[in-house]
């Protein structure tokens, strides 16, 4: 899969970051550029209270403020300090004193079923993030990125959500979602059909990527209501859908950006185009081999939502379309393309993103020796990590959690290096493994004393038998720590 260097083009020196409030950031704020982090509500309030004297003496507050001002690295010319207030989006708030970063390892996280479930944070996720952000006995930060198959919003909007949900600062520069790689195809296709997501959202995402002519199923139904006999547009949908002449519109590619909200209608329209003469709506091919290519942002059959049992995902839609095409064409195969995990290209993309993030945010200009990938779906998270580990020059170490798709007592289709209860256990396992077996001095403290972050001290709230807390693969299948680190040089 081709990738865009433009997306990850390195800024000169350390990039200037705008800081947006997770509670008040607007679309206009986040559309301005990619160089920002989203600051959760808590951090704004903490700062306010400090200056109110709530967390210490007046003298301490002044000293803290002076230190923070001295360490500011904000170059947003659009807002001057005099007009800033902690509640104003885009406000350059003070940067905390410098905290050293772990330079030999990093984490990558799936989101649904690992950090978030049914729109709510998994409780241990917040503590796990605090550990990574320096709230550990060594006072070190550990770099991390997010790699989700989900989508349906812009990367920037999703970062605002994550910041609010997990109470951490999140930047679009550490975030990849299922449809992120689709932005690399804007030069290849002129007119495309975009499917899935809420209302007009995915059209906006596609146009934000640079696609020039974006058609939605709503546009097609608006032009000919007979397209979907049982699906009528609402008044709002009718107003938002664009009038166009389907007979002269050639759809060059179909992109399923996010989960369909109307499976019957979307399947009908995708199949109509797959069986069309060269992508012209309303035509029917005689050979059924001239339809536009169909891209899915991932191929997960199920995912972990609010319901106790897993729910059908985009991969299920993909299967249905392929099977129905075969039935309708009396045996023709439809080949579709999926991005996302477990595709190797997605992990290559993640490697470059992580390298850039470590360089820009942590000032580490070399790849990590080990990346701990934490996921809940064996078929995408674990399969992808294990396969990529086979070809990557550094180690990708798969960790499966029990808070999502994977069900305790079943045999995962792809075996992780280790299985733990929650993302907090995963972080503690990775940190313990690194700091115990590769002792190193961080902040003047020898990092081999890891009692406080041992995964085995963590029975906590999980009501699982203690024997299920952690399951590690046999030593023979775990990379030896005495093996010289394989460093990826690119």
Nearer to Mg ion, 113 or 218 (CB): 113
- Eight-class DSSP state of 410: S
For residue 380, the minimal CB distance to Mg ion (Å) is 8
Continuous segment of H or E residues that includes residue 149? none
325-384 residues in contact with Mg ion (CB under 5 A) are: 376-377
Which of these segments, 104-112, 165-173, 200-208, 393-401, binds Mg ion (CB under 5 A)?
A: 104-112
Minimum distance, C-beta of residue 150 to Mg ion, in the bound complex (Å): 8
Tokens of 407: 């069900």
The single residue among 40, 113, 196, 217 that binds Mg ion, judged by CB under 5 A, is 113
Site string (59-98) toward Mg ion, x via CB under 5 A: ----------------------------------------
Nearer of residues 73 and 407 to Mg ion, judged by Cβ: 407
Nearest to 485 by CA among 398, 369, 393: 369
- State whether the Cα torsion 470-476-481-485 is positive or negative: negative
Give the end-to-end CA distance of the chain in Å, rounded to a whole number: 17
Name the residue nearer to Mg ion (CB basis): 147 or 334: 147
* Distance of alpha carbon 245 from the chain centroid: 37
Q: Footprint of Mg ion on residues 444-463 (CB under 5 A)?
A: none
Q: Residue 166, SS3?
A: helix
Q: What are phi and psi of 145, to 5 degrees?
A: -135, 170
Q: Closest distance between Mg ion and the C-beta of residue 423, in Å? A: 11
Q: Give phi and psi for 42, each to the nearest 5.
A: -55, -40
Residue with tokens 């809940």: 376
| Residue from the set 29, 76, 103, 110 that interacts with Mg ion by CB under 5 A | 110
Q: CA–CA separation, 217 vs 269, rounded Å?
A: 7
Closest contact distance (angstroms) between CB of 317 and Mg ion is 17
User: Which of residues 17 and 400 has its CB atom nearest to Mg ion in the complex?
Assistant: 400
CA distance 257 to 206: 9
Nearer to Mg ion, 92 or 113 (CB): 113
Indicate whether 112 belongs to the interface with Mg ion (CB under 5 A): yes
Cis peptide before 342 (omega within 30 of 0): yes
Size, binding site for Mg ion by CB under 5 A: 5
Least CB distance to Mg ion at residue 266 (A): 23
Chain contacts with Mg ion (rule: CB under 5 A): 110, 112-113, 376-377
């Amino acid at each position: 899969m081709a990738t865009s260097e433009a997306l990850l083009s390195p800024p000169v020196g350390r990039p200037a970051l705008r800081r947006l409030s997770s509670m008040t950031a607007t679309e206009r704020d986040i559309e301005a550029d990619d160089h920002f982090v989203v600051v959760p509500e808590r951090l704004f309030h903490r700062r306010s209270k400090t200056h109110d004297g709530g967390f210490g003496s007046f003298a301490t507050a002044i000293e803290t403020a002076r230190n923070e001002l001295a360490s500011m690295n904000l170059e947003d010319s659009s807002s001057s300090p005099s007009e800033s207030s902690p509640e104003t989006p885009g406000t350059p708030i003070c940067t905390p004193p410098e905290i050293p970063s772990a330079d030999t390892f990093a984490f990558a996280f799936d989101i649904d079923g690992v950090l978030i479930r049914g729109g709510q944070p998994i409780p241990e996720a917040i503590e796990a993030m605090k550990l990574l952000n320096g709230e550990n006995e060594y006072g070190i930060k550990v770099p991390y990125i997010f790699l989700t198959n989900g989508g349906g919003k812009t990367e920037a909007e999703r970062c605002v959500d994550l910041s609010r949900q997990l109470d951490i600062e999140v930047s679009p520069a550490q975030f990849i979602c299922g449809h992120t790689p689709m932005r690399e195809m804007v030069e290849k296709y002129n007119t495309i059909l975009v499917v899935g997501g809420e209302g007009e959202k995915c059209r906006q995402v596609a146009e934000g990527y640079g696609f020039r002519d974006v058609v939605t199923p709503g546009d097609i139904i608006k032009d000919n209501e007979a397209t979907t006999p049982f699906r009528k547009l609402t008044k709002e949908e009718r107003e938002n859908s664009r009038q166009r002449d389907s007979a002269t519109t050639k759809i060059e590619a179909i992109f399923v950006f996010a989960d369909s909200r109307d499976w019957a209608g979307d399947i009908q329209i995708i199949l109509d185009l797959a069986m069309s003469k060269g992508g012209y709506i309303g035509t029917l091919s005689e050979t059924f081999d001239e339809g536009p290519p169909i891209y899915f942002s991932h191929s997960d059959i199920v995912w972990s939502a609010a319901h106790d049992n897993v729910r059908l995902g985009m991969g299920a839609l993909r299967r249905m379309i392929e099977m129905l095409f075969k039935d309708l064409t009396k045996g023709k195969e439809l080949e579709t393309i999926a991005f996302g995990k477990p595709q190797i290209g997605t992990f290559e993309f993640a490697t470059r993103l992580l390298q850039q993030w470590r360089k820009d945010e942590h000032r580490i200009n070399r790849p990590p020796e080990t990346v701990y990938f934490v996921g809940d779906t064996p078929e995408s998270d674990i399969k992808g990590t294990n396969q990529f580990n086979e070809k990557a020059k550094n180690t990708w170490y798969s960790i499966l959690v029990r808070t999502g798709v994977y069900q305790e007592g079943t045999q995962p289709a792809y075996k992780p290096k280790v299985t733990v209860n929650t993302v907090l256990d995963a972080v503690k396992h990775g940190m313990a493994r690194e700091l115990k077996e590769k002792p190193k001095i961080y902040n003047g403290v020898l990092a081999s004393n890891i009692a406080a972050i041992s995964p085995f001290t963590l029975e906590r709230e999980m009501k699982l038998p203690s024997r299920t807390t952690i399951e590690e693969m046999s030593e023979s299948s775990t990379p030896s720590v005495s093996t010289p680190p394989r460093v990826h040089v690119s």
